[in-house]
Amino acid sequence: MKNCKVVKNCRTMKDQCWICDNYGLYLPKDKSILSPRQEENKLKRKLEHKGKKLSSASKRGKSNRRNGRNAERELVAWLEKIGIEANLVPMSGALKSANIIKALANDEMVEKMRGDIKATIGDKVYTIESKRNVNSDTWYKKAESGVIHIKGFAYLLRQDLFHALINGVELAVADEIEDKGFKIVHKYFEQDDSDIVVISRPYCDRLFFIKEKNYGTISRTSK
User: Domain range spanning residue 170?
Assistant: 53-219
- The answer to whether 113 touches 89, Cβ cutoff 8 Å, is yes
In a domain, 83, yes or no: yes
| 35 part of a folded domain | no
Q: By three-state DSSP, how is residue 182 classified?
A: coil
Q: Is residue 94 part of a domain?
A: yes
Domain total of the chain? 1
pLDDT at 219: 73
Three-state DSSP at 85 gives strand
19 domain residue, yes or no: no
20 — pLDDT class (breaks 50, 70, 90)? confident
In degrees rounded to 5, what are phi and psi of residue 199?
-105, 130
Flag whether 34 is in a domain.
no
> Is residue 106 a part of any domain in this protein?
yes
Q: How much is the average pLDDT of 45-67?
A: 73
Please write the tens of the pLDDT for every residue from 181-203.
999 999 999 988 999 999 999 89
Residue pair 82/163 in contact (Cβ under 8 Å)? The answer is yes
pLDDT recorded at residue 119: 94
| 124 found inside a domain | yes
| Model confidence, pTM | 0.67
Asked, for residue 118, whether it belongs to a domain, the answer is: yes
Residue 128 and residue 86: Cα distance in Å, rounded?
10
